[in-house]
Amino acid sequence: MTTTPTISKLLLFLMTAAIAATAANLYYSQPILPLIAQEFCLTNTKTGSVIALTQFGYAAALLFISPLGDSVPRKRLIAILSILLVLSSLLAVTAPNLTVLLIGVFFIGLSANITQQLIPFAASLVTPKEKGATLGTLMMGLTLGILLSRTLSGSVAEYFGWRAVFVMSALLATIFGLLLYKALPHNTVHTNLKYTQLLKSTFVLFKKHRSLQIFTFAGASWFAAFNALWATLAIHVSHEPFNYNAQQAGLFGVIALAGVIGAKSSGKWVNKLGSKSLVKIALFIIAIGFIITGVYANILTALIIGIILIDFGVFSAQVANQVRVFSIDPNAQSRINGVYMLGYYLGGALGSLAGVKAYQYYAWPGVACLSIGFVLLALTFNYFAPKQQEL
C-alpha cells in the first residue's frame, strides 16, 4: 500500500483540469447537432448517431482500455490516448460526410478514457487518509467538465461553426497531453499479464470481490435515477406551465453546479463518517430531492431545490463509493475502476431509457417515482455493503 504521498497541489490541479477538459469531449457534440444536421442534410435518427457513437466509444474504452492501466505505465498510456484524441478531433474537423465524422467521434469517446486513467493514477499516489479529499477534487473537475462542456461548445459553434469545436478539442488535448507527459511521475506496473489475460482477470476480479459487485450495482442504481431526471427535464419544462425554449432549459445545467460542492465536500466527510454512512446520507438527500420535484412538478422553485439536492447527493455518493472501490485491491485499481465505471455507465443508460418511457406514460411524476425506486434499490445494495472495505 502507498504510505507516502507523492502528489503535489500543483500536480493535483493539473490532473483535475485535464479530467475536466477530457470529460467535456463526451458532451461537446450535443449543442451542435442541428448545425451538423444542416450541413450534411441528416434526419433526426442519423443526427443522434453522433452522440451514440461517442458514448459507444467511451463504453468500449472502459471495457478494453481501462484495464491496461495495471499492465502499462499510466504515463505512457495517457500520452498515447492524448495523441489519439488529437488525431480523432482533427478527423472530425475535416470530416467530409457523416461516416467519417462518426469514426472521428467514436475514437474521441475511446480516447476520453484519459479520465479513467488519471483518477486511479491519482488515487495510487496518496495515502489512504488523503484518498477521499483527492478523489473529491478530481470529481469536482469531472463535474465541471460535464456541466460546462455544452455551454462552451454552443458558444464556440455560434461564432465559429461546429468544426471549430473539434479544433478546440484538439488544441486542449495537445496542451494537456504535453503538460501531463512532463509532470506525471513514472509508476510501476503491478502485473505482467498478457492483454487477453488482463481482460479475463477484470471479470475474475468482479466475480471474486462481493463488495465490488455491491458498490457497482449501488452506483449504477443511483446514476440511473440521475439520468432519468436529465433525460426528461428539458421535455418537462418545454410544456405548460413553463414553456421554456432550449436555451432556457439549458440553464438548469448551471443549477447542477451544486454537484461540484457535493463532490468537494464529500471528500472531506468520507474519513469522518465512513463511506457506507456517507453514501446512505447522500441517497436520502437524493430521494428528498425527487420527492420535492415529483410533488411540486409545476413549481419552478421546487424544481430548482430538488435538482440542487439530487446533484449534490449524486456526486457526494459517487466520491464516497469510489473511495471504497479503490480500497479493494491497490494492485488492480485500473481494472476494478474500469469494471465499476462500466456498470455505472450502463446504469445511466438504463435510467435514460426508462426515464423517457416513464415520462411518456406518466409525465413528470412518473419520472420522479421511477427515480425514487432506483434510489431505494441503491439503498438496499448499500445496506449489504461491508462497513470495512477490503484492503
pLDDT tens digit string along 221-258? 999 999 889 878 878 888 899 988 755 766 777 777 77
* CATH dotted code for 203-383: 1.20.1250.20
pLDDT reading at 390 higher than 50: no
Q: How confident is the model at residue 5 (pLDDT cuts 50, 70, 90)?
A: low
Q: How confident is the model at residue 155 (pLDDT cuts 50, 70, 90)?
A: confident
SS (H, E, C) 265-292: HHHHHHHHHCHHHHHHHHHHHHHHHHHH
Q: Return the CATH fold of 9-189.
A: Growth Hormone; Chain: A; (1.20.1250)
Please return the burial class of 73, using the count of CB atoms within 10 Å of its CB with bins 0-12, 13-18 and 19+. Answer: middle
Q: Which of 337, 329, 63, 67 is nearest to 193 (CA)?
A: 67
- Round the average pLDDT of the chain to a whole number and report it: 89
> According to the model, what pLDDT value does residue 2 have?
41
- DSSP state, residue 120: H
Q: How confident is the model at residue 52 (pLDDT cuts 50, 70, 90)?
A: confident
Please give the backbone phi and psi of residue 237, each rounded to the nearest 5 degrees, phi first: -80, -5
- Would you tell me the crossing angle of helices 210-237 and 300-325 to the nearest 10 degrees? 160
Question: What's the CA gap between 148 and 285, in Å, rounded?
Answer: 24
What value does the mean pLDDT take over residues 303-318? 92
CB atoms under 10 Å from CB of 151, counted, come to: 14
- Give yes or no for a contact between 321 and 279, defined as CB atoms under 8 angstroms apart: yes
CATH 1.20.1250.20 domain locations along the chain: 9-189, 203-383
pLDDT reading at 266 higher than 90: no
Q: How confident is the model at residue 112 (pLDDT cuts 50, 70, 90)?
A: very high
